[in-house]
């Protein structure tokens, strides 16, 4: 099924972002590239925030966040309570991110993951569905930060 996907990166992941964007479009997905569009150094939080906002506002069904390690941009994305971003390095974790955590965004590190593995992660993520059930209460808490455990 074709999805609306927003994708963003920092300067370290420009090439991977371009490759994934083309590959996703070839497979019928509608892709919004939120940038950056050049190789000059940029601040990943700016692009992570924009990506989270695009998913929160319904401009995209899912998001893909990329930076050198995937760590920084995933932290930035997860500052938005509507974002459930999982840093993944292989397809199994990408699938579980959807099955158990209802992740709406995945993050990957361009310096740590190859292009083929990144595509495999995206494929697994998009093919998976949220299981709900026993995970519902936990996922609901992710958007409602509480200082004390329930």
Residue 84 included in any domain: yes
Is 85 catalytic? The answer is no
User: What is the pLDDT at residue 135?
Assistant: 73
Residue 87 included in any domain: yes
Sorted by sequence, the CB contacts under 8 Å of residue 111 that are 6+ apart come out as 12, 68, 69
Residue 147 included in any domain: no
Residue 149 included in any domain: no
Is 99 catalytic? The answer is no
What's the farthest any 2 CA atoms get from each other in the chain?
A: 47
Residue 150 pLDDT grade (very low, low, confident, very high; cuts 50, 70, 90): low
Where residue 130 falls (left for φ over 0; alpha for ψ -120 to 50; beta otherwise) is: beta
Predicted TM-score (pTM) of this structure: 0.92
Is residue 48 a contact partner of residue 22, using CB atoms and an 8 Å limit? no
User: What is the pLDDT at residue 131?
Assistant: 67
**Active-site residue identified among 67, 99, 121, 135:** 67
User: What is the pLDDT at residue 115?
Assistant: 98
Residue 148 pLDDT grade (very low, low, confident, very high; cuts 50, 70, 90): low
Residue 62 included in any domain: yes
Q: Which residues pair with 31 in a beta bridge?
A: 5
CATH number, domain containing residue 113: 3.40.1400.10
Report strand pairing: 105-109 vs 85-87: parallel
Residue 150 included in any domain: no
Residue 104 included in any domain: yes
Q: Which residues pair with 33 in a beta bridge?
A: 7
The structural domain count of the chain equals 1
Domain range for 20 is 4-142
Q: pLDDT tens across 58-99, in order?
A: 999 999 999 999 999 999 999 999 999 999 999 999 999 998
**Active-site residue identified among 11, 27, 99, 100:** 100
Q: What is the DSSP letter of 35?
A: S
Residue 19 pLDDT grade (very low, low, confident, very high; cuts 50, 70, 90): very high
Extract the tokens encoding 112: 């740590």
């Amino acid at each position: 099924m074709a999805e609306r996907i927003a994708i963003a990166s920092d300067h370290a992941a420009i090439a991977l972002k371009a490759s994934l964007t083309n590959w996703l479009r070839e497979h019928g997905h509608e892709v919004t590239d939120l940038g950056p569009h050049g190789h000059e150094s940029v601040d990943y939080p700016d692009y992570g925030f924009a990506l989270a906002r695009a998913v929160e506002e319904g401009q995209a069904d899912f998001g893909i966040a990329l930076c050198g390690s995937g760590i920084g941009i995933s932290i930035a994305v997860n500052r938005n309570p509507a974002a459930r971003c999982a840093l993944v390095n292989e397809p199994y974790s990408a699938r579980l991110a959807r099955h158990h955590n209802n992740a709406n965004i995945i993050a990957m590190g361009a310096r740590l993951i190859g292009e083929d593995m990144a595509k495999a992660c995206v494929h697994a993520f998009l093919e998976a569905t949220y299981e709900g059930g026993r995970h519902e209460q936990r996922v609901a808490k992710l958007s409602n930060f509480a200082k004390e455990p329930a």
